[in-house]
Structure 1
């Protein structure tokens, strides 16, 4: 089974997550949700009224000091997914002393991955400018993602040019939490074209190998890259486990070895679904990583 044998998985994931969301909204949670905030101005020529939106989940209890911030990026093979499926992550984080921002971004075939990364960078920049209004600390902002969203979260932390192109000299991302990430090295993956169905990824990534490299976090990490917290399923796709290990070794060689955990018995989709439970090991490590009060 390959990393990207996902053709039916986004639909399966959506069904399971919708069931969790239905249960979630049946219960009161100690968080404040501000939904469907536009992070791109409607006057921008590329504004998408559905995809340029984010939700903010803030603890109801105001603290003496502002809370750390986690921007969560959904997965879905770069062609599907929606922030509305992941309210449970926003609420769990808010309950534990983190301001969570769960975002949408444009998808293939409407756009390719460089535009998706730019969307995510714009969401991060909106967050730095406005999150203090919700009790968050813009100086403690972290990205997080599962699957394709994990690759984008890593790219935001590693590629400073995503922000420089938007007129921001310093990358505002202080670290990244990767949950079974896909796309860490698409340059390598797409050169090999090893598995049936790999051609589908030429839609979001294009056909130019230089373009594949330009959106692969593997080629942007340096000795100055912020820290990573990396979780991989013990029974995930081989190319996720191998690329994650390669990413780990690259960071180690730079003196930036990440916190790295293999969760025994976990397949790819359950790696995000387990975030429904507050006491999950990912949350326990995340709270320490971002410096949350807990």
Structure 2
């Protein structure tokens, strides 16, 4: 994940404040995400880390509660990206802080990765994490009836599958209708045939099942969606994935908004949630607006 962040930051040039940050990253022995987290204040939240939602060491989550949390605060469960083969919840403290600073209870969940598991077992993990949140988040001032999923890249895929394919939540006694909505950042929703060699074994290429694609699970009863992408994303085609899914959702009568930003790339889109990089794009403002004013069907 650190390598992907370096590529993303390296592609973002052209302003003094970003150049200064890049210089800091170049001088620091830490990874870019460690720098972002080091520049992220912890005064806006209280954190409970390493809560188990299953027996595996990867089945854990962190909860970020706003310091001034109101009763029945909205809840966002965030799944990070990393091509289903890398990532850690500890890398995304800046996401937890961003949401908590706006009065949202944030949950950042780990899930099992390849080669330990392949599709669809990481979706089972996501569903179990959501079930834990529905049962326990009231203990953290969150409202389980005001629950959203959110993800970046492969994490956006996970969120999409949980929101669109009822099989995964049904296995834990829930349904997509238990979600108020979901948010996808640069998500792959329609990516067969698979071009990325690192992703191919995750989905049993060349026999990747069509049912693994979120776009094939759109139905009229799906929860509302906010889909955001980098206009010049060279890793996940934004027109095919974000645009294609948004169009299909709207055609089915599901409220769906798709937004595209010119300055971020695939990686820095999620990094724009952090305080140092929010000038890249108003992603946080759009997420908060969606949570506060979710459209209805």
Task: Please give the TM-score of this superposition, normalised by the length of structure 2.
Answer: 0.83
* 1:263 aligns with one of 258, 261, 264: 261
* 2:100 aligns with one of 85, 89, 94: 94
- In 2, the alpha carbon distance for the partners of 1:240 and 1:175 equals 23
Give the structure 2 partner of residue 216 of structure 1: 213
Q: Mark the runs of 5 or more structure 2 residues left unpaired by the alignment.
A: 9-29
Is 1:48 matched with 2:56? yes
TM-aligned CA deviation for residue 160 of structure 1: 1.0
Matches for 1:34-73 after TM superposition, within 5 Å = 34-40=48-54, 47-49=55-57, 51-63=58-70, 65-73=71-79
Moved more, 76-85 or 172-181: 172-181
* 1:204 aligns with one of 202, 205, 208: 202
Is 1:185 matched with 2:185? no
Moved more, 237-246 or 216-225: 237-246
TM-aligned CA deviation for residue 239 of structure 1: 4.2
Q: Mark the runs of 5 or more structure 1 residues left unpaired by the alignment.
A: 1-5, 41-46
Relative distance call for 1:32 and 1:244 in structure 2 (3 A) is same
CA contact (8 A) 1:10 1:80 kept: no
Cα deviations by residue, 1:105-125 (Å, 9 ceiling, x for unpaired):
000011012001110110000
CA contact (8 A) 1:145 1:152 kept: yes
CA contact (8 A) 1:70 1:142 kept: yes
Give the structure 2 partner of residue 15 of structure 1: 31
SS at match of 2:147: strand
TM-aligned CA deviation for residue 62 of structure 1: 3.7
Give the structure 2 partner of residue 43 of structure 1: none
Moved more, 279-288 or 226-235: 279-288
CA contact (8 A) 1:128 1:172 kept: no
CA contact (8 A) 2:76 2:147 kept: yes
TM-aligned CA deviation for residue 290 of structure 1: 1.3
Is 1:285 matched with 2:258? no
> How many corresponding residue pairs?
268
Cα RMSD (Å): 2.2
- In 2, the alpha carbon distance for the partners of 1:225 and 1:176 equals 10
Task: Please give the TM-score of this superposition, normalised by the length of structure 1.
Answer: 0.84
Is 1:31 matched with 2:45? yes
Cα deviations by residue, 1:237-285 (Å, 9 ceiling, x for unpaired):
2742122111111112112251111101321111011110368522212
Relative distance call for 1:29 and 1:212 in structure 2 (3 A) is farther
TM-aligned CA deviation for residue 28 of structure 1: 3.9
- In 2, the alpha carbon distance for the partners of 1:135 and 1:55 equals 14
SS at match of 2:180: strand
TM-aligned CA deviation for residue 82 of structure 1: 0.6
Cα deviations by residue, 1:181-203 (Å, 9 ceiling, x for unpaired):
12x123x333xx4xxxx343222
Give the structure 2 partner of residue 126 of structure 1: 132
Cα deviations by residue, 1:97-143 (Å, 9 ceiling, x for unpaired):
10000010000011012001110110000000000000000001101
